[in-house]
């Protein structure tokens, strides 16, 4: 097939338009830098979202052959490999905004318990930054995208002066909060990137609770409306949709010269040229692109002479436990939809009591599905038959409480992404193979997580729904992949410096979660946004000074 090379040399090529790529494009274009963004998908149009389609209308539509927008990329189009005994459930969204079209919006700051954790306990490499380095960027992100939250300010969950008002905690959440107090577990208001009042020209949330289908009024942060649209207004941004980046191209000096990509549908191969390349295709896809960018100067993948890229894949362990709290059984069902997901969060606490654990790091907990929300799927777990069953379900509808603890997974060399030259995708590119298991540390942590969840439900005197102690979700389901292109001060053990710039290839940056040396127990997107903002401020300065 004929390759169509380009003659224009762009200032910066960004690969990916999710949280990371969107932030990079927005921050650079507003500083006068010309950006070409390659995105593997087609734009999602808000007007086509099925946010407010009622169940009966949904049925009529699907019976008529219509489909809601398909956010999740079908693995049959773009496969990944996993060993049979090591499943990994990878959730990818290809298209403008990436996963921020459907993300859960939980927006938690990392603290020095996280940034200094590895240096303290010695497990793998330290973060090259501390809270003070990123705090100004968390402030800017909170103000720019709008994050609601309470006044709490904790070592493990630093506060923010810029939170929008939080939604009230639901009745079930308040019952859990009281139960937590009785056994020394502290809860705080949830922190979510949902607008509880109009903000920076975006609409406030109207509490329909249907965020998982995409918000048709953009009342929660998504990269497309909040970052790409203002970036377009600068006149400095160009996007090529359906451009599946394959490789970063390099010159004889080993530096990047551009990107090779394939049209998603016609499969035509093209090349674009740039002075700088920013990889932001989300952890696994970014890793795959760098590993596939082999050349004489980079035989083990781009900037990977130390064999770090692809290794140290980290995620989080997670499980679910639910129950019905007697205080609320049989009470009037209120509309608990709210901003969907939780209005309350349990921060990590296991570092506070001074008790030595037999595992490293910690866990926090989310509480989505608590209360009388649109989803009555819990009924499947209620006993009974006929009218009695209906009464029991109705009585329990307001009383459901749902616990979802998330625990940190330690980085280990053998947990990795490789590219498989024997398994090629439809463009002839080696697909990603993910080899990942959790270990002893996670097993021990899960035991305490189960103890915590069960004691909390017992303190609330809940009817606890059946659970299997020790069981955790299939890896990948937390949708927080990190670590495979990690940052660090030691160039022998990391791929990037603290500004997300490659140690070995100075004109290549990676600004997504792959850059994180640890996963923490928290959701990463707020930190991805803050780090991408910081990295691109640094890049803009370096470009002005002529150093890159
Ligand atoms: C259901 C769900 C709930 C979540 N809940 C939360 C939450 O509550 N809090 C939180 O912090 N995080 C949450 N996440 C995770 C969050 O969405 C991600 O952390 C965040 O979107 C990552 O941003 P990113 O830019 O790295 O990747 P993405 O947002 O996935 O964007 C990747 C971009 O890269 C493009 N791309 C991929 N491959 C290529 C290629 N080869 N060439 C060109 N472009 C490419 C894609 O089209 C896309 O635009 C959730 C995710 C999901 C799916
Ligand atoms: S609950 Fe709010 S943010 Fe979610 S879809 Fe409805 S309006 Fe949008």
Give the whole-angstrom CA distance, residue 470 versus residue 448: 10
Q: Are residues 300 and 223 in the same domain?
A: yes
Answer for the pair 89, 318: CB distance below 8 angstroms, yes or no: no
CA-closest candidate to residue 193, choices 58, 294, 57, 102: 102
Q: Are residues 424 and 488 in the same domain?
A: yes
| Residue 439 pLDDT | 94
Give the whole-angstrom CA distance, residue 372 versus residue 170: 9
Tell me how far the alpha carbon of residue 508 lies from the centroid of ligand 1, in angstroms: 20
- Give, for ligand 1, the residue of 99, 100, 367, 513 to mutate: max count of ligand atoms closer than 8 Å to Cβ: 99
CA-closest candidate to residue 429, choices 246, 175, 164: 246
Helices (H), strands (E): how many in the chain? 12, 17
Q: Are residues 276 and 397 in the same domain?
A: no
The 3-class SS string of 98-155 reads HHHHCCCCECCCCCHHHHCHHHHHCCCCCCCCCHHHHHHHHHHHHHHHHCECCCCCCC
Q: Are residues 276 and 389 in the same domain?
A: no
**Is 207 part of any domain?**
no
Residues 441-460, buried b or exposed e (16+ Cβ, 10 A)? Answer: bbeebbebbbebbbbbbebb
- Give, for ligand 1, the residue of 479, 526, 530 to mutate: max count of ligand atoms closer than 8 Å to Cβ: 479
- Give, for ligand 2, the residue of 219, 221, 341, 375 to mutate: max count of ligand atoms closer than 8 Å to Cβ: 219
**Is 198 part of any domain?**
no
pLDDT tens sequence across 326-342: 999 999 999 999 999 99
Q: Are residues 299 and 390 in the same domain?
A: no
| Ligand found nearest the CA of 104 | 1
Q: Which of 453, 474, 495 is where one domain is finished?
A: 474
HSE (side-chain half, CA atoms, 13 Å) at 343: 25
Q: What's the domain count of the chain?
A: 2
Q: Are residues 237 and 123 in the same domain?
A: yes
| Residue 141 pLDDT | 98
Q: Is 210 in the pocket of ligand 2 (CB under 6 A)?
A: yes
Q: Which of 451, 474, 497 is where one domain is finished?
A: 474
Answer for the pair 426, 264: CB distance below 8 angstroms, yes or no: no
Q: Are residues 325 and 346 in the same domain?
A: yes
**Is 106 part of any domain?**
yes
Q: Are residues 104 and 249 in the same domain?
A: yes
Q: Provide the pairing of β-strand 243-250 with 237-240.
A: unpaired
| Residue 375 pLDDT | 73
Tell me how far the alpha carbon of residue 385 lies from the centroid of ligand 1, in angstroms: 43
Q: Which of 474, 490, 523 is where one domain is finished?
A: 474
CA-to-CA separations, 312 to 123, 316, 498, in angstroms, rounded:
12, 13, 17
Atom of ligand 1 nearest to the CA of 512: 26
- What's the CATH code of the domain at 452? 3.30.410
| Residue 4 pLDDT | 67
**Is 161 part of any domain?**
yes
**Is 200 part of any domain?**
no
**Is 4 part of any domain?**
yes
Q: How many CB atoms lie within 10 A of CB 69?
A: 16
**Is 55 part of any domain?**
yes
pLDDT tens sequence across 412-465: 999 999 999 999 999 999 999 999 999 999 999 999 999 999 999 999 999 999
- What's the CATH code of the domain at 493? 3.50.50.60
Give the whole-angstrom CA distance, residue 149 versus residue 157: 12
Q: Which residues line ligand 1 (CB under 6 A)?
A: 15-21, 38-41, 91, 93-95, 98-100, 102-106, 243-245, 280-282, 285, 289, 479, 512-513, 523-525, 528
| Residue 55 pLDDT | 86
| Residue 1 pLDDT | 53
Q: Are residues 156 and 293 in the same domain?
A: no
| Ligand found nearest the CA of 192 | 1
HSE (side-chain half, CA atoms, 13 Å) at 313: 27
The 3-class SS string of 418-434 reads EEEEEEECCCCCEEEEE
Q: Are residues 512 and 544 in the same domain?
A: yes
Exposed, middle or buried: residue 265 (CB in 10 Å: 0-12, 13-18, 19+)? Answer: exposed
Q: Are residues 140 and 172 in the same domain?
A: no
Report residue 150 as tokens: 């309470």
**Is 205 part of any domain?**
no
Give the whole-angstrom CA distance, residue 80 versus residue 454: 36
Q: Are residues 386 and 470 in the same domain?
A: yes
- Give, for ligand 2, the residue of 51, 53, 199 to mutate: max count of ligand atoms closer than 8 Å to Cβ: 51
Q: Report the Cα–Cα distance between both ends of the chain, in Å, rounded.
A: 34
Regions of the chain short of the pLDDT cut 70 = 1-5
Print the domain residue range for 280. 1-146+213-314+414-437+481-548
CA-to-CA separations, 399 to 175, 187, 328, in angstroms, rounded:
10, 19, 5
Beta strands in 327-447 (DSSP E): 344-345, 363-366, 400-408, 416-424, 430-435
- Residues 336, 338, 344: CA angle, nearest 5 degrees: 90
Helix (H, G, I), strand (E, B) or coil at 548: coil
Q: Is 205 in the pocket of ligand 2 (CB under 6 A)?
A: yes
CA-closest candidate to residue 127, choices 486, 543, 415, 368: 486
């Amino acid at each position: 097939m004929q390759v169509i090379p380009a003659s224009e040399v762009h200032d910066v090529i960004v690969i990916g338009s999710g949280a990371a790529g969107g932030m990079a494009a927005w921050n650079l274009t507003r500083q006068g830098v010309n950006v070409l963004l390659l995105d593997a998908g087609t734009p999602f149009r808000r007007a086509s979202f099925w946010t407010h389609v009622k169940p009966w209308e949904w049925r009529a539509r699907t019976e008529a052959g219509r489909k809601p927008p398909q956010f999740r990329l079908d693995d049959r189009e773009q496969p990944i490999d996993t060993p049979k005994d090591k499943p990994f459930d990878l959730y990818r969204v290809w298209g403008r905004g990436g996963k921020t079209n459907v993300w859960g919006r939980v927006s938690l700051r990392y603290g020095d318990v996280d940034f200094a954790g590895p240096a303290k306990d010695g497990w793998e490499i330290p973060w090259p930054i501390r809270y003070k380095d990123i705090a100004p960027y968390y402030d800017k992100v909170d103000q720019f995208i709008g994050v609601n939250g309470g006044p709490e300010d904790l070592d493990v969950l630093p506060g923010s002066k810029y939170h929008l008002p939080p939604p009230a905690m639901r009745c079930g959440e308040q019952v859990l909060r009281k139960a937590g107090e009785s056994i020394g577990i502290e809860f705080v208001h949830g922190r979510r990137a949902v607008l509880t009042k109009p903000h920076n020209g975006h609409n406030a949330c109207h509490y329909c609770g249907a965020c998982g289908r995409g918000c048709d009024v953009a009342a929660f942060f998504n990269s497309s409306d909040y970052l790409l649209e203002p970036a377009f207004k600068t006149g400095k941004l160009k996007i090529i949709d359906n451009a599946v980046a394959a490789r970063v191209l390099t010159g004889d000096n080993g530096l990047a010269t551009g990107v090779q990509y394939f049209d998603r549908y016609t499969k035509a191969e093209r090349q674009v040229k740039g002075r700088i390349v920013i990889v932001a295709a989300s952890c696994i896809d970014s890793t795959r692109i760098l590993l596939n960018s082999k050349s004489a100067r980079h035989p083990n993948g781009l900037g990977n002479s130390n064999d770090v890229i692809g290794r140290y894949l980290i995620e989080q362990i997670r499980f679910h436990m639910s129950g019905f709290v007697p205080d609320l059984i049989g009470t009037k069902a209120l509309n608990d939809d709210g901003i969907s997901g939780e209005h309350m969060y349990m921060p990590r606490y296991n570092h506070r009591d001074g008790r030595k654990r037999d595992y490293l790091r910690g866990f926090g907990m989310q509480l989505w599905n608590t209360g009388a929300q649109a989803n009555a799927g819990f009924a499947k777990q209620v006993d009974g038959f006929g009218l009695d069953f209906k009464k029991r379900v109705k009585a329990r509808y307001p009383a459901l409480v749902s616990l979802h603890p998330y625990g940190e997974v330690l980085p280990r060399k053998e947990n990795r992404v490789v590219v498989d030259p024997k398994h090629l995708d439809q463009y002839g590119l080696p697909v990603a193979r993910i080899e990942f298991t959790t270990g002893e540390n996670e097993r021990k942590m899960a035991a305490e997580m189960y103890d915590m969840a069960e004691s909390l439900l017992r303190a609330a005197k809940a009817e606890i729904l059946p659970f299997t102690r020790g069981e955790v979700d299939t890896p990948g389901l937390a949708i927080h992949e990190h670590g495979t292109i990690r940052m660090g001060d030691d160039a022998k053990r990391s791929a990037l410096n603290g500004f997300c710039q490659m140690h070995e290839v100075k004109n290549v940056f990676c600004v997504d979660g792959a850059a994180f040396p640890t996963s923490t127990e928290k959701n990463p997107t707020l930190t991805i946004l803050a780090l991408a903002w910081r990295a691109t401020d640094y890049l803009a300065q370096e470009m002005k000074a002529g150093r890159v």
